[in-house]
Amino acid sequence: MKESLITLWTSLIVFFLPIQPLLLIIGGFIMLDTILGVTKAFVTKQKISSHKLSRVIFKMLVYQFVIILLYPIDVYIIGESLFGYENFATKLGVFVLLFIESLSIEENVKALNKDRGFKYYFEKMLLTIKSTKKQITDVKKEL
């Protein structure tokens, strides 16, 4: 009996091993959102309750479970690939969940930085790249 259970668990782990990076990415986004949410609560002096923090565990379990359910659908129902992409349904599910978490992260970043979100920092990064490129071009001309 014990050997059968070990074999079953080993088989499940090996079956779901290809989606491990996707599960880690989802978990990372949830943790980043949680850290930013707690930081926002400290900065804005909001009360942090155990009920709100327990929702993180629920969210983590639900998101991971959704991805774990989509993977067998990809393997057994859809087959090798769809639209030329391997594991299309799983990756689409991950994309949707990451988009949802990104919106939440964006809200927290805006709350922490006086309504300056990703767009502000992206534009600032582009300006820095352009000015650095111009400086490099000017140095090359001098040589």
Domain locations in the chain? 2-112, 117-143
Residue 82 has pLDDT above 80, yes or no: no
Which of 63, 65, 124 minimizes the C-alpha distance to 99?
63
CA angle at 79 for the pair 73 and 80, rounded to the nearest 5°: 125
- Split at pLDDT 50, 70, 90, the class of 59 is very high
**Which residue's structure tokens are 């400290």?**
42
**Predicted local distance difference test score (pLDDT) of residue 126:** 87
Q: What is the DSSP letter of 116?
A: -
Q: Could you tell me the pTM of the whole model? A: 0.75
Which amino acid is residue 60, in one-letter code?
Answer: M
Ramachandran class of 79: left when φ > 0, alpha when ψ lies in -120 to 50, beta otherwise:
left
pLDDT digits (tens, 9 = 90+) for 100-127: 999 998 888 888 887 777 777 778 888 8
